[in-house]
A and B are shown apart, each in its own frame.
Chain A
């Protein structure tokens, strides 16, 4: 059975737009196999679908008419859903760490309250708390007897929901500051939910998106908490006030890195892939202008400019999906190394990689979702398309969990340290080992087909990263040698450093895409599809940054022309499979919640149906009565 058949909305199971049906008639691959690849195995696909089925069948979780709700209504509904999910989980015996809950969160992500509670508050206690602290707090939190938030810079759902917070604060004892530490602070009464004395708390007001989250403000004035509420795994205060450090607190980073990997998958890649599915399906049912005189109007996906807008985004979604999955694996390896052997040597590399990739991926996913939205013309502005909400949600990820430029500069700092290590002859971590190699010169491609050789484009990306990192290092060094102070030198080189960090991460993503591809030897059909997407991702990235590659003559103008021709040809190939590839993300209609992106392609009918349900259409227009009627009355006699 084709993956999609089941996905069709139940409204009109028999009707399907022939313009979209024809796109699915002869895919070069089995869609279901691509579905399993994306899910990480057929068994996981099965579990995911079971969870989806449970959630879709439950009216409380319905997203119908969600776009019509006000912000307070959205918040309230999100609380209701979060509580209901807890109930559901108990009823069905899903465990907190099991795959079902993971999928449930992924499916309901944008509609649940308490994301910070489950995603940050509990993990922070687990990572930074002692065993006794974990035993005390985590069960309470899992049962929602306490609801917590994480108060570092931006506050998640302090506003109305939380009664506890992990507060990051400068620890002072015996007259000395010991830096940032985490404390569990009760902020509201457990009886009537009122703010405790000394706590000023509230919602920070309407935002661009994330209406279902009550981001809040919190002011603390002489709030006293027991000593045991400081999370004590790595440091402790004795009863007489002495500060004791217990091992390296660098493991703190692990929690942060895990959060990053989680949001890359759940917030960024999901948003981009959903946007691609919606825009691609819409682009095969929307017809506009004529490609040939006398013929009917053409599908807009047949226009080269539309392909150029959408298909590289589709390739990007795959690139990031595989990247997130490798990063997750790396993250777990490092965690095991630390926990079992106390070996934290890979931590700086992991930290640098996750920072730079978070920045690269959130930037690209935000821009990509917005490109998809605009590619849907006017209908992309309607909330009913689902695209505005996807954008306003994903774009927040460019500034939360580390502002992107700050993160790029963290990665750059790591890269510069690596350059210094080379000077000293010290070994480098695997992902940056290329800095030891000599810089390559002159791309060897002679004809169009050469650009479809993965080793060739990997080399090209590697070359750029290497050159930009080295140039930034030289610039920094020369400023320092001319007597400029360290911080001034760093600031004066920061634009260049940030660029070098991006180039490094871009190379890592391309390399990882190719490695994924190599692992698909036994699935030739699938491998062929993924290869096409990998080629498209890699070549588009080079062409978009052509100046970087032409600059030192690594690529010639002639080679660039060949590559352009090659990329345009790839667009036409991906075009043929685009709908089936998009289907493989396997989003049920209920989850996409888009009037123009449904599996059946009945975009116009749905837009019309949904619009008629808007509350603005349900009642008499009060603005008319109040302001317009007096004017219109005058005309009545004359017309």
Chain B
């Protein structure tokens, strides 16, 4: 059975989309299975999605016509319903819960998001067994709804700078929490503004007159029963944002709020009743959650970009415009080279990120198992990789979503396209869970360290192994003078080219850093003066990882038709990246002028190769219409009828004559 057709109602499919689908050179369903990780997974995913899609209780009004308060209201209702439904349907596998929620939320966010993603996991990881006993059950049943309050008004990525204090008072065996300055007010936590009744608050712990650094405390913030703020707690919503209407991101100011000693999360660090502080055994333990979430963002980037591509490519096959040839009918805009050049590189990027996302998820699970056995050796690399890839993919995907939106012309600007929502929902990931530039510099630090190790003769392994070559037999000068014989259609040679580029930029950044040190700057100043170079080096490193993982994925594909199409996508991804960054490849002497010209040319040829499969390639992502929530991206392609119907429901159309006419225009016109 063809994947989309099972979800299609009785309405006829747009004939052009039908033709596009018939022309595909491969079996869409088989590609969907590869993306899902097997036919059985696809089957189960669809089964779970159908539970939501066929449930009348979970349907609601189009969110685009609601005010922010109404959207929040619908979202809270949905969160509460989802909890019940998941229980009713006995869905317990975390991945399956995620599928169900994503379908319900139409890829948007929920006010209880942090309760599930941060509050509960933090309790699970950092509570003692007595604490678990007390807090977990009411949290699982949402009697307690919690949030995770780390970021402050004046402090973000640099968490050591947080100012909230928790001072231990041995006389009552309580912690006294305070927000001593304006900049220390907790700001941004999701669900804090209106929804939560508890928060895990990160604060500087003071005991016996000494600051012991950041620790986590469970703080009740609203009264059970009335939901009113507790004494000393100033809490509220931070106001309207660029998206995230569904979530009540909040502020929290604490004025001498007292919590019992047992409310500090004490699995690792402890404060004894007399105030004696006991250090945690290792500081790496808390890295886990962070790495997990960053790895997940790579998958989110793939999803958001692939949804945007689905909408833009389907619409471009339906939309006709101008004349290519005088007298001929207006062609599909997807037949314009400029349109293909906007969309196909993004389509191949969505595929690349999808495979990288799966890789990061699997790697995380593998390394978590190692860590549970006490082996932390792979953590630094995973940490560096997740930071860099989080930044790399979220930047590229954000820009890509906007390009897809603009490629839909004026209609992309209408909320009916679904694209504005995808953008505003996804783009915050450039900032949260580690601001992207900061992330890139963390990866750079790892690269720099690895480079230094390789220089001193240590053999590197893993994703940085290519630095061995640089410091071993190939000197930078030799890199530049390498023979430039190269088949630009050979993906393994392209992977090498990306390695050389990354190695070269790491080397250049290291050289500039040494030079800055030579100017009698201290380490920090020298690092700052090299940071633009370092970010570039990290970007090149991540780019190389993506190309390499995409190429590696090809070897797992057995279906020849799909192998052919994915090879084209992989080649396109690699060549387009070279074409866009040709300066780096020319500068380092990795490719010469002639080869770069060939690359530019080949990219344009590949556009034509991808063209007949474009619609089938987005169909294979297999997003139900309800998840895309886009008039332009409908599977059946009946765009214009539905856009007109949608517009008629706009709030300004509720009355034939808007009230502002009577209030302002009529008096003016009668006066004259």
Partner-B contacts on A (CB < 8 A):
67-68, 70-72, 75-76, 79-80, 83, 86, 143-145, 147, 153-154, 159-161, 190, 192-195, 202-209, 214, 217, 286-293, 297, 302-306, 308-309, 370, 373-374, 377-378, 380-384, 387-388, 391-392, 395-396, 398-400, 403-406, 409, 485, 487-488, 490-495, 498, 545-553, 557, 560, 568, 604-605, 607-608, 610-617, 621-624, 626-629, 631-636, 638-639
Please tell me if the beta carbons of B596 and A547 are within 8 angstroms of each other in the complex: yes
| Given known A551-B596, A608-B251, A632-B143, contact A217–B582 (CB-CB < 8 A) | no
Instruction: Indicate which residue in A297, A370, A405, A611 contacts B237 across the interface (CB closer than 8 Å).
Output: A611
B525 proximity list for chain A (CB < 8 A): 291-292
Please tell me if the beta carbons of A160 and B227 are within 8 angstroms of each other in the complex: no
A378 proximity list for chain B (CB < 8 A): 151, 156, 187-188, 431-432
| Given known A67-B240, A144-B669, A494-B337, contact A153–B410 (CB-CB < 8 A) | yes
Task: Name which residue of chain A comes closest to B183, CB basis.
Answer: A604
In the complex, how many angstroms separate the beta carbon of A65 from the nearest chain B beta carbon? 10
In the complex, how many angstroms separate the beta carbon of A91 from the nearest chain B beta carbon? 13
Instruction: Indicate which residue in A292, A308, A494, A611 contacts B239 across the interface (CB closer than 8 Å).
Output: A611
B553 proximity list for chain A (CB < 8 A): none
In the bound complex, CA of A238 to CA of B435 (Å): 68
Cβ contacts A to B, 10 pairs, < 8 Å:
A79-B665, A291-B525, A309-B437, A409-B338, A551-B593, A604-B183, A605-B182, A623-B77, A624-B227, A632-B143
Known: A550-B587, A610-B239, A631-B143. 11 other contacts (CB 8 A): A160-B657, A190-B669, A194-B657, A303-B531, A373-B242, A388-B241, A494-B338, A548-B582, A621-B194, A633-B224, A638-B138
Name which of A76, A193, A392, A547 has the most chain B CB atoms within 10 A of its CB.
A547
Contact with A along B149-183 (1 / 0, CB 8 A): 00101111110010000000000000000000011
Please tell me if the beta carbons of B650 and A203 are within 8 angstroms of each other in the complex: yes
Contact with A along B171-208 (1 / 0, CB 8 A): 00000000000110101100001110100000000000
In the complex, how many angstroms separate the beta carbon of B17 from the nearest chain A beta carbon? 22
B154 proximity list for chain A (CB < 8 A): 286-287, 604
Name which of B141, B337, B652, B668 has the most chain A CB atoms within 10 A of its CB.
B652
B72 proximity list for chain A (CB < 8 A): 616, 623
Instruction: Indicate which residue in A160, A487, A552, A614 contacts B661 across the interface (CB closer than 8 Å).
Output: A160
Please tell me if the beta carbons of A195 and B656 are within 8 angstroms of each other in the complex: yes
Instruction: Indicate which residue in A206, A297, A374, A495 contacts B64 across the interface (CB closer than 8 Å).
Output: A206
In the bound complex, CA of A287 to CA of B161 (Å): 10
How many interface residues does B have (CB within 8 Å)? Answer: 125
Please tell me if the beta carbons of B583 and A547 are within 8 angstroms of each other in the complex: yes
Instruction: Indicate which residue in B65, B409, B582, B597 contacts A403 across the interface (CB closer than 8 Å).
Output: B409
| Given known A487-B325, A617-B237, contact A399–B410 (CB-CB < 8 A) | yes
The 10 closest A-B pairs by CB, nearest first: A546-B583, A547-B582, A635-B143, A388-B242, A203-B652, A208-B420, A205-B650, A547-B583, A614-B239, A623-B76
Please tell me if the beta carbons of A635 and B661 are within 8 angstroms of each other in the complex: no
A568 proximity list for chain B (CB < 8 A): 529, 532
In the complex, how many angstroms separate the beta carbon of A74 from the nearest chain B beta carbon? 11
B143 proximity list for chain A (CB < 8 A): 631-632, 634-635, 638
Asked if B653 is an interface residue, CB under 8 A from chain A, the answer is yes
A621 proximity list for chain B (CB < 8 A): 194-195, 227
Instruction: Indicate which residue in B187, B660, B669 contacts A80 across the interface (CB closer than 8 Å).
Output: B660
Please tell me if the beta carbons of B583 and A560 are within 8 angstroms of each other in the complex: yes
Asked if B67 is an interface residue, CB under 8 A from chain A, the answer is yes
A302 proximity list for chain B (CB < 8 A): 528
A161 proximity list for chain B (CB < 8 A): 658, 660-661, 665
Instruction: Indicate which residue in A382, A405, A613, A639 contacts B241 across the interface (CB closer than 8 Å).
Output: A382
In the complex, how many angstroms separate the beta carbon of B37 from the nearest chain A beta carbon? 33
Asked if B362 is an interface residue, CB under 8 A from chain A, the answer is no
Task: Name which residue of chain B comes closest to A572, CB basis.
Answer: B529
Task: Name which residue of chain B comes closest to A86, CB basis.
Answer: B668
Please tell me if the beta carbons of A639 and B65 are within 8 angstroms of each other in the complex: no
Asked if B364 is an interface residue, CB under 8 A from chain A, the answer is no
B647 proximity list for chain A (CB < 8 A): 202-205, 217
A194 proximity list for chain B (CB < 8 A): 656-657
Please tell me if the beta carbons of B431 and A381 are within 8 angstroms of each other in the complex: yes
Contact with A along B223-236 (1 / 0, CB 8 A): 01101000000001
A86 proximity list for chain B (CB < 8 A): 668
Task: Name which residue of chain A comes closest to B438, CB basis.
Answer: A289
CB-CB contacts below 8 Å: B237-262 with A:
237-244, 248, 251
| Given known A153-B410, A378-B188, contact A383–B415 (CB-CB < 8 A) | no
Please tell me if the beta carbons of B227 and A632 are within 8 angstroms of each other in the complex: yes
Task: Name which residue of chain B comes closest to A373, CB basis.
Answer: B242
Please tell me if the beta carbons of B652 and A560 are within 8 angstroms of each other in the complex: no
Name which of A202, A204, A302, A495 has the most chain B CB atoms within 10 A of its CB.
A204
In the bound complex, CA of A626 to CA of B79 (Å): 12
Contact with A along B630-672 (1 / 0, CB 8 A): 0000000000000010111111110011111101111011001
Asked if B581 is an interface residue, CB under 8 A from chain A, the answer is yes
In the complex, how many angstroms separate the beta carbon of B226 from the nearest chain A beta carbon? 9
Please tell me if the beta carbons of B238 and A629 are within 8 angstroms of each other in the complex: no
Please tell me if the beta carbons of B73 and A622 are within 8 angstroms of each other in the complex: yes
| Given known A79-B664, A604-B153, contact A288–B161 (CB-CB < 8 A) | yes
Contact with A along B413-442 (1 / 0, CB 8 A): 111100010000001101110010100010
Please tell me if the beta carbons of A75 and B194 are within 8 angstroms of each other in the complex: no
Task: Name which residue of chain A comes closest to B328, CB basis.
Answer: A487
CB-CB contacts below 8 Å: B316-330 with A:
322-326
| Given known A557-B587, A560-B583, contact A207–B657 (CB-CB < 8 A) | no
Asked if B624 is an interface residue, CB under 8 A from chain A, the answer is no
A549 proximity list for chain B (CB < 8 A): 583
Asked if B129 is an interface residue, CB under 8 A from chain A, the answer is no
Please tell me if the beta carbons of A624 and B73 are within 8 angstroms of each other in the complex: no
Task: Name which residue of chain A comes closest to B80, CB basis.
Answer: A627
Please tell me if the beta carbons of B227 and A628 are within 8 angstroms of each other in the complex: yes
Instruction: Indicate which residue in A190, A381, A547 contacts B581 across the interface (CB closer than 8 Å).
Output: A547
In the complex, how many angstroms separate the beta carbon of B53 from the nearest chain A beta carbon? 22
Asked if B314 is an interface residue, CB under 8 A from chain A, the answer is no
In the bound complex, CA of A291 to CA of B409 (Å): 45
Task: Name which residue of chain A comes closest to B651, CB basis.
Answer: A72
Instruction: Indicate which residue in A305, A552, A560 contacts B587 across the interface (CB closer than 8 Å).
Output: A560
Name which of B241, B243, B428, B659 has the most chain A CB atoms within 10 A of its CB.
B241
Contact with A along B118-149 (1 / 0, CB 8 A): 00000000000000000000100111110000
